[in-house]
Structure 1
Amino acid sequence: MDIKGKHLLMDAFECDEVILNDPSLLRRILVEAALDAEMEVLHCYFHQFTPQGITGILVLATSHLSIHTWPEENYASLDFYTCGDKEIIEIGYALVKQLASKKAVVYSISRGIQHAETPTKNRQHAESTRLLNRGDDSDHVSLKQLLSGQHDILFHQKNRIQDIQLIKASDIRMYLDEQLQFSSLDEHAYHEALVHPIFAASLRPHRILILGGGDGLALREVLKYKEVKEIDLVEIDADVVNAAMNVEELKKLNQRSFEDSRVTVHIQDAVDYLSLNSACYDIIIIDFPDPTNKKISTLYTKEFYALLQRSLSRSGLVVCQSNSPRDTPIVFWSINKTMKASQFYTLSYHTIIPSFGDWGFHIGSKTPLSAPILSTDILYTTLPSDFTKLMRFSPHSLSKKQFAVVNSAEHLVLHKIFKKEGLYL
């Protein structure tokens, strides 16, 4: 490969929100970084949004340096590309530090033209893609790139339900039907957000139901709570659970969660399980795939949420992963509206997951939550100390709420909205 450029993609978490909302300060920070990299700045433009947030870009003689900030999330993403000779990785780390970031992920990518392929070069290319693309088409591309380089197939099984691939390269990734399910680089950000806010809101988290989540990663977070007495995990695909229980790398990732005596696994369709279930749960965690097709869309209907109502205790809570409030805001708010149509009171929140971007969740309850969700005593690594920060949404996301619809068996539209919002480009 002839290297034509160096590219850094940076996710900065837990930044100082004052810095993230100061355009003049951000301009100075970026210009100084460009000068440290011995680059010529041709043009600067910074735009401040109302009520908060900034987008800024420096046009460089060797390419560009840009930043996008979400002060309400204490998060910023940066893009630094250069065709110059100067090594920029350390400058990237310094940039993140100047945002007072307590945690960051820096992706280093070598850009260029592929010539004769060698195993070493393939590995470099595969490791550098780091799963920043979103959506099924992008997942197909990243998977193809990954498989063309040096990697290990930890588990591969194609059954009547789906095609399961567990792959180890620079990280561990699971694909279902070539759609990325998780990367070990940042899966904690998703699973901590899925589990801990609902536990912080629960008055009696003794009996738990997990729908989906056959990889055992949400289960790992639930098992951190000593007050939990029983956990039923319902997964339709036995092969996913088989991988989670027997592949050493995945067992290490889920901390052997299926070996805990409190856990009972049910290999069963979620609708069938709920239809026959007579137990009441204090917390139900829904970890289903995105509504990419008609079949999965039925798991996000008014009728399905009515089944959940039957299986919840009076003070019980349900949480549902609900796609991106930024990339698929109508899908996100339609799930909220559908839950409300099923007599749930709802509470919405979101967080940043580098592999997927801004990702949202809804908590449902039979009665209004009496107090704000602040935090939990359990140790976590990716969430703010005050969970109420997760409940602030951008004006763009909130503006799409008016277009939300109720997804029902008679009016099954969520998968159509999902496609229209651009994940299938």
Structure 2
Amino acid sequence: MALGRQVLCEFWGAQGLDDEELARTALERAVEAGGATLVRLEVHRFSPWGISGIAVIAESHLALHTWPEHGYAAIDVFTCGDTDLDAMVEVMVDAYRPTWVARRAVERGSPGVAVEANGVVTKGAVANGAVANGAVANGDGTATDVIGGERNGHASARDGAHGDRVWTFEEHEPASPIRALYPVRRLLEARRTPFQSAVVFETPGLGRVLALDQIVQLTERDSFAYHEALVHPALNAHPEPRNVVIVGGGDGHTLAEVLKHDVVERVAVLELDEHVVELAKRHFERARAAFADPRVEFLPGDAFTSIGSLDFAPAVILCDLPDPLGQAARLFGSDFYRRCAEVLTDDGLVAAQTESPFWHPDTVRSCREAMAEVFPRTAVAWSVVPTYPGAWWTFTIGSKRYAPEVPARTPELDTRLYRPECHAWMFVPQPVWDGLLAPTAPPALVGQRA
């Protein structure tokens, strides 16, 4: 019989870590949410910063220790009764809004093992490294899981045979029924910007990975499949793309592809979240080198309005945007494409990532329709991006003059997927569009985004 249950949590990228009143309120609310009986509450703020707090409860304790300078907090919850530890942890997550949460659950005083993983409790003895009902055992009666601070995705971890910690990251893409699980060798950075959560981690097989709001944006292994398809069909459809604008693209990988074209003289990157740019430069060599190129200027701000303030006319605008959720949604409509057309050269064009033909067919169709309202020529390119939901991804081009499917230039490029001589191969043939993406095609495999 177990004598007690303990949950140890680590918060990264947390907020309010030097707020004594927040600590007191969070501890009180956590005790109440767990149905525990508060005996005594003590909170102390250290100088110059840092807080320690403990709620002594009739069932045992809830403790908090913060390191504001590192955006880090440690939580310890122990109970020997029927207290709802999950509810207590949820209150602490809500209070401090961490980007990344490591959680370790232990049954104390039992010869058997009770392991919690991803919210499932498995009782009974579990051998080293064994898997029981989806719970991964560490072999010492413990298991570790990590949940995203937004609670719309999570990662998990266990201690390996040699004492090394083995992490996994689970992506949650709102419109996809598939959950991708990434092995994590090392967490490089987890932070919350004013706009989103951002995580960079290393994987054994995919290299470094960037995730924003728990959605993977790129991996070093397959990023070329996305960025080459967005950039090169558009730039090669124009005879002289001397000036280019990138909307979004704070990770710098679209920029790196653009800079492969010697004809390009100037590139402006319009990215809302400058923290993503700094993070990418710290952790991705391609981004660091690209943003250091003298042809590049970074213009932080909302592209919906700033696109009209450019002091030059671009030949090509590339929209490397996250999913059309929240504020980003308006950058996928005819109003924004019209703003782009107003600043383009008389023969300019726009290319935009327009989501998966499997999980987001309505988005693909609506983006092409929106482009067609503004541009006389449109075409949809596609590529296979293994780590994106549905794997196949689309890129819609709107052009004032040139046919996107016909290359106007055939420069020698250091690319892996795109080849100028295979330019037309990148585009969706009309019969395929009719069968997969026309309004009369079968409905989406899952519900569309709200």
Normalising by structure 1, report the TM-score.
0.61
C-alpha deviation, 1:334, in angstroms: 1.2
Matches of 1:192 and 1:212, distance apart in 2: 16
C-alpha deviation, 1:400, in angstroms: 5.1
CA 1:396–1:372: 2 relative to 1, 3 Å: closer
Match of 2:415 in 1: 380
Post-superposition, which runs of at least 4 consecutive aligned residues in structure 1 deviate over 6 A? 121-125, 137-140
Matches of 2:405 and 2:211, distance apart in 1: 38
Aligned pair count? 292
Match of 1:204 in 2: 240
Are the equivalent residues in 2 in contact too, given 1:123–1:150 (CA < 8 A)? no
C-alpha deviation, 1:342, in angstroms: 1.9
Structure 1 residue 305 and structure 2 residue 350: aligned? no
C-alpha deviation, 1:155, in angstroms: 2.3
Structure 1 residue 116 and structure 2 residue 127: aligned? no
User: Residues 345-365 of structure 1: CA distance to partner in whole angstroms, max 9, x if unpaired?
Assistant: 212111111112001111111
Matched-pair identity in %: 24
Match of 2:269 in 1: 233
Larger Cα Rg: Structure 1 or Structure 2? Answer: 2
Q: Which residue of 135, 139, 163 maps to 2:197? A: 163
CA 1:366–1:394: 2 relative to 1, 3 Å: closer
Equivalent positions of 1:276-425 (< 5 A) are 276-291=309-324, 293-356=325-388, 357-369=391-403, 372-373=406-407, 376-384=411-419, 385-393=421-429, 397-399=433-435, 401-403=437-439, 421-422=446-447
Are the equivalent residues in 2 in contact too, given 1:163–1:176 (CA < 8 A)? yes
AA of the residue aligned to 1:381: R
SS in 2 for 1:274: helix
Matches of 1:361 and 1:354, distance apart in 2: 16
Structure 1 residue 261 and structure 2 residue 294: aligned? yes
The structure with the largest helix share of the pair is 1
Are the equivalent residues in 2 in contact too, given 1:325–1:350 (CA < 8 A)? no
Structure 1, gaps ≥5 residues long: 1-109, 405-416
CA 1:400–1:263: 2 relative to 1, 3 Å: same
Match of 2:143 in 1: none
Root-mean-square deviation (CA), in Å? 3.3
SS in 2 for 1:326: coil
Equivalent positions of 1:5-84 (< 5 A) are none
Are the equivalent residues in 1 in contact too, given 2:405–2:427 (CA < 8 A)? no
Match of 2:308 in 1: 275
CA 1:339–1:150: 2 relative to 1, 3 Å: closer
Normalising by structure 2, report the TM-score.
0.58
AA of the residue aligned to 2:186: D
SS in 2 for 1:315: coil
Are the equivalent residues in 2 in contact too, given 1:319–1:364 (CA < 8 A)? yes
C-alpha deviation, 1:421, in angstroms: 4.1
User: Residues 104-132 of structure 1: CA distance to partner in whole angstroms, max 9, x if unpaired?
Assistant: xxxxxx996444224227989757x8x8x
Match of 2:260 in 1: 224
C-alpha deviation, 1:235, in angstroms: 0.6
C-alpha deviation, 1:368, in angstroms: 4.3
Indicate the structure whose relative CO is greater, using CA pairs within 8 Å and at least 6 residues apart.
Answer: 1
Structure 2, gaps ≥5 residues long: 1-128, 139-157
Match of 1:135 in 2: 173
C-alpha deviation, 1:399, in angstroms: 3.4
AA of the residue aligned to 1:360: T
Are the equivalent residues in 2 in contact too, given 1:326–1:396 (CA < 8 A)? no
Structure 1 residue 214 and structure 2 residue 250: aligned? yes
C-alpha deviation, 1:255, in angstroms: 5.6
CA 1:141–1:226: 2 relative to 1, 3 Å: same
CA 1:150–1:320: 2 relative to 1, 3 Å: closer
AA of the residue aligned to 1:151: R
Are the equivalent residues in 2 in contact too, given 1:196–1:376 (CA < 8 A)? no
C-alpha deviation, 1:151, in angstroms: 3.4
Matches of 1:333 and 1:276, distance apart in 2: 29
